[in-house]
Chains A and B, each alone.
Chain A
């Protein structure tokens, strides 16, 4: 496994194709949980954690269970792919439950830090989005390690975006924002400027 290509995958998904600013994944928590930095950071960590695990597990299910079963019993490796989406969402839901129980039992301090965010994560589209993007891109179809790095990087990118946003919003708390734009409006406009800044990273993958 060549190490530079892994770094390229990681930087690509953190900076160039950032989940929030370029791919619009995980916007709901990005708008909702970005009021203060420590909460945003906790949420980011929880998402990274679950995303990495779900990305790996769904990859394993598609390539080591669905594909062989399909080609063995139905003659076509893709014949069971219609079950993919149902399986993905079930895997994510059960992963969230498992992680929650595991943390509660073995790492209570970690659980108190970001346990509250875990139930919210099931419907965070960034997680399902990561699984789907891994599944759609042939680079990741062929390599579990790259998929894992991609999922981890996606989480890190999300955590970075939401933490930056929370930092800005903390400073904006006493700004005089027009009434109609308070809340979602000004957050989206700030996100626009951040997204513009992130556009500048495009092309470094080359």
Chain B
């Protein structure tokens, strides 16, 4: 027993000290880390549903990602934000889709996480005028979105693929279509009931 203590007191002492140190770092920093993680999502929601100040998480049956009901300062509904995740060219893509209050039109799209090819596929995350994501606002949320290689048809709910990155473009459209397919019926119903 004595020999055991003699051999291992240092390790035990260090283990205990380190555990206290780690617990201290955890308590002092975890708040900030959580804030950072939520900030990224909240900023994205603000970008896709304009005028949003607060959000409420909504549970949609059959869809296991987050869906948010977005409200402005007066508590008036500004729209819906839906998180979508799916496989891209290299790895998974995570994005937020914004819908109008009636869940009938898309108000915006923002890619949060992706590691697509730099300069090609990662253009899906570009912001500003004439970018890939800018094609989404105004599309109908009640129908499937199609990806075309040439000029998109105004009436056809179409978007143009990024040159040289058809797979990434297709992946985004697929994620959006899948997410909307699962939530649109329920959102339209609740939106009609509470939006008035």
Contacts and interface: CB of A to CB of B under 8 A. Distances in A.
User: Direct A–B touching in the complex (beta carbon < 8 Å)?
Assistant: yes
Interface residues of B, number: 16
B185 interface: no
Interface residues of A, number: 13
A164 B96 CA distance: 42
B89 interface: yes
B171 interface: yes
Interface string A138-167: 110000000000000000000000000000
Contact of B23 (A82, A86, A205): A82
B84 to A, nearest CB: 13
B31 to A, nearest CB: 12
B25 A82 contact: yes
B92 to A, nearest CB: 8
B90 A16 contact: yes
B26 interface: yes
A206 B171 contact: yes
A67 interface: no
Contacts of B25: 82
B89 A83 contact: no
A206 B89 contact: yes
Q: Is the interface of B mostly helix, strand, loop or mixed?
A: helix
B23 A206 contact: no
Nearest to A78: B30
Contacts of B143: none
Nearest to B170: A206
A139 B18 CA distance: 32
A194 interface: no
A142 to B, nearest CB: 10
Contacts of B192: none
B186 interface: no
Given A16-B90, A17-B91, A206 B167 contact: yes
Nearest to B25: A82
Interface string B41-81: 00000000000000000000000000000000000000000
A202 interface: yes
Contacts of B16: none
Interface in B88-108: 89-92
A205 B26 contact: no
Interface string B12-40: 00000011001101100000000000000
A202 B121 CA distance: 12
A75 interface: no
B167 A83 contact: no
Interface of B: 18-19, 22-23, 25-26, 85, 87, 89-92, 117, 167, 170-171
Given A86-B18, A138-B85, A203-B89, 11 more contacts: A17-B91, A82-B23, A82-B26, A86-B22, A139-B92, A202-B89, A203-B167, A205-B87, A206-B87, A206-B167, A206-B170
26 contacts: A16-B90, A17-B90, A17-B91, A79-B26, A82-B22, A82-B23, A82-B25, A82-B26, A83-B19, A83-B22, A86-B18, A86-B22, A137-B92, A138-B85, A139-B92, A202-B89, A202-B90, A202-B117, A203-B89, A203-B167, A205-B87, A206-B87, A206-B89, A206-B167, A206-B170, A206-B171
